[in-house]
Amino acid sequence: MAVIVIGFVVGHILALALLYTLGTLYWQLYQLYQFHSWLRRSGKAAPPDASGIWGEIFDAVYRLQKKQRKSKRRMRQALNRIENSTAALKEGVIMADSNGNLEWWNNSAGLLLGLQRPVDRGQPITNILRNPEFFKYFTQKRFGEPLVIKSPSKEGVYLELQTTLYDQNDHLIFVRDVTRLHLLEQMRKDFVANASHELKTPLTVIKGYLETLSMFKDNLPQSMQRGIVNMTDQSLRMEHLIEDLLLLSRLETNDQKEPHQWLKLEDICETVRKTALPMMTEQHDISFQIPEDSYIYGATSELYSAFSNLVVNAIKYSPEGGHIQVKWVQHDFSGVFSVEDEGLGIDPRHIPRLTERFFRVDKGRGSNTGGTGLGLAIVKHVLIHHNAKLQIRSQPGFGSTFSCHFPTDRVRQEALLATVATDVEGSPEETNATLDATEHSPETSANTPSA
């Protein structure tokens, strides 16, 4: 306004207005230049002096910069703390992308697995951890249960790996040294196997004397006769217990692995039927529906043990008799061996624990029936060896159905097959069925140390 008035007075309004505009433009450009070079220099320097709108802009940007620097510092500190704490963790932590390529790992993981920076960064983890079990675990995404393997870099060390998928199927892997646990577990297994084995000899001697005494039983007083009968029963029970314990420890340790081959189901079931017959009373009525051309790929004596345990249980726990149906049904996705009874049934809350060793729904009931409490634990381990799963459906007072589901590559309907081989290792998949005995049991996985 002042420029117009002065221009009017001196008679050069236009020239003065132009001069003013150029001056203002120059000043604005100069401030812009100042602003630009301050931003380029930036760092922590205070903004150049300026008045008016430019002063306000400088101050506002300066305040913003200070705020951003502060939050950046805070974030870096937090990140450092996370990095330091994961570096100090005794557990190894590994981050790998969705394809399994290594992105980051802490010091413990480096030590436990022998990972080296920077060579191993970006490498597929399966190339570095060359272990067939790990390869299967990782490529087939069997992350439901942890995996125990030998350390690739330290002799005699056992590692437990637990993988979680996050973000876009990236892998977060925790590695733990479980050598002590593994050795303890091994000691427990060895102890059970050795103790059971050592008990066999004295028991055989006792049984021998009891047999001799039984021959002269009629000449002995009544009380002695009862004693001999009782001792004979108990020694038989003990013999079953020892046999079951030995079988279970063989199954657990995978010692003396029995070869797997194609077996005719009818033959196995015929042997099972013969075992079961002496236990049946007149009230029991048992039927076998096994197609004659059905075959299963497995270990003869293991499958016999599992199937006979289920059939014997159905008889033992059907005291009032009733119909027992033993069936083999082949679907598109599996072959199912099932034993259905109309006996006592089981309360659903007990079902998840049935495959634990020595678990009995009713302690008194178990010892009356002469059971060892190991039958279903044996069934479970046999099924693990055959990549199969156990499903239990039951209703107290109405009966139970125990079904063993075998994968398709283990079942065939005709006799062509002596040469086909399949993978005999690995644990069964979990099922979603509510009453699946393998689902909640602490003994579910072949990799978990069992109770």
Euclidean distance between CA atoms 289 and 323, whole angstroms = 13
Site for ligand ADP in 241-270 (CB under 6 A): none
Q: Which of 159, 346, 382, 411 binds ligand ADP (CB under 6 A)?
A: 346
Identity of the residue, 96 or 286, whose beta carbon is nearer to ligand ADP in the bound complex: 286
Kindly state whether residue 343 participates in binding ligand ADP, applying the rule CB under 6 A.
yes
Q: In whole angstroms, how close is the CB of 382 to ligand ADP at the nearest point?
A: 13
Euclidean distance between CA atoms 214 and 252, whole angstroms = 38
Identity of the residue, 362 or 439, whose beta carbon is nearer to ligand ADP in the bound complex: 362
Cis peptide bond N-terminal to 118, omega within 30: yes
H or E element that contains 225:
helix 222-253
Q: Integer distance in angstroms from the first to the last C-alpha of the chain?
A: 95
Identity of the residue, 48 or 366, whose beta carbon is nearer to ligand ADP in the bound complex: 366
| Residues 6+ away with beta carbon under 8 Å from 410 | 296, 297, 298, 335, 386, 387, 388, 422
Q: Which of 373, 429, 439, 448 binds ligand ADP (CB under 6 A)?
A: 373
Backbone φ and ψ for 237, nearest 5 degrees, come out as: -60, -40
Q: Which of 159, 272, 286, 361 binds ligand ADP (CB under 6 A)?
A: 361
Identity of the residue, 178 or 392, whose beta carbon is nearer to ligand ADP in the bound complex: 392
Which of 403, 247, 242, 240 lies closest to 314 in space, CA to CA?
Answer: 403
Stretch that binds ligand ADP, among 60-68, 75-83, 354-362, 418-426 (CB under 6 A): 354-362
Q: Which of 92, 100, 375, 407 binds ligand ADP (CB under 6 A)?
A: 375
Helix (H, G, I), strand (E, B) or coil at 217: helix
Q: In whole angstroms, how close is the CB of 326 to ligand ADP at the nearest point?
A: 12
Q: In whole angstroms, how close is the CB of 261 to ligand ADP at the nearest point?
A: 27
Q: In whole angstroms, how far apart are CA 187 and each of 182, 208, 330?
A: 9, 32, 41
**Do residues 389 and 429 lie in contact, with contact meaning Cβ atoms separated by under 8 Å?**
yes
Identity of the residue, 86 or 309, whose beta carbon is nearer to ligand ADP in the bound complex: 309
Stretch that binds ligand ADP, among 112-120, 153-161, 214-222, 373-381 (CB under 6 A): 373-381
Helix (H, G, I), strand (E, B) or coil at 445: coil
Applying CB under 6 A, what is the total number of residues that bind ligand ADP?
23
Q: Which of 109, 178, 344, 382 binds ligand ADP (CB under 6 A)?
A: 344
Q: In whole angstroms, how close is the CB of 236 to ligand ADP at the nearest point?
A: 14
Strands 158-166 and 170-177, how do they pair? antiparallel
Identity of the residue, 92 or 375, whose beta carbon is nearer to ligand ADP in the bound complex: 375
Identity of the residue, 267 or 347, whose beta carbon is nearer to ligand ADP in the bound complex: 347
Q: In whole angstroms, how close is the CB of 260 to ligand ADP at the nearest point?
A: 24
Strands 284-289 and 322-330, how do they pair? parallel
Euclidean distance between CA atoms 112 and 131, whole angstroms = 15
Strands 334-340 and 389-395, how do they pair? unpaired
| Residues 6+ away with beta carbon under 8 Å from 33 | none
Kindly state whether residue 437 participates in binding ligand ADP, applying the rule CB under 6 A.
no
Tokens 């290594």 correspond to what residue?
102
Q: Which of 48, 110, 366, 426 binds ligand ADP (CB under 6 A)?
A: 366
Q: Which of 173, 314, 390, 404 binds ligand ADP (CB under 6 A)?
A: 314
The maximal CA–CA distance of the chain, rounded, in angstroms, is 155
Identity of the residue, 59 or 233, whose beta carbon is nearer to ligand ADP in the bound complex: 233
Residues near ligand ADP (CB under 6 A): 309, 313-314, 317, 341, 343-344, 346, 354, 359-362, 365-366, 371-377, 400
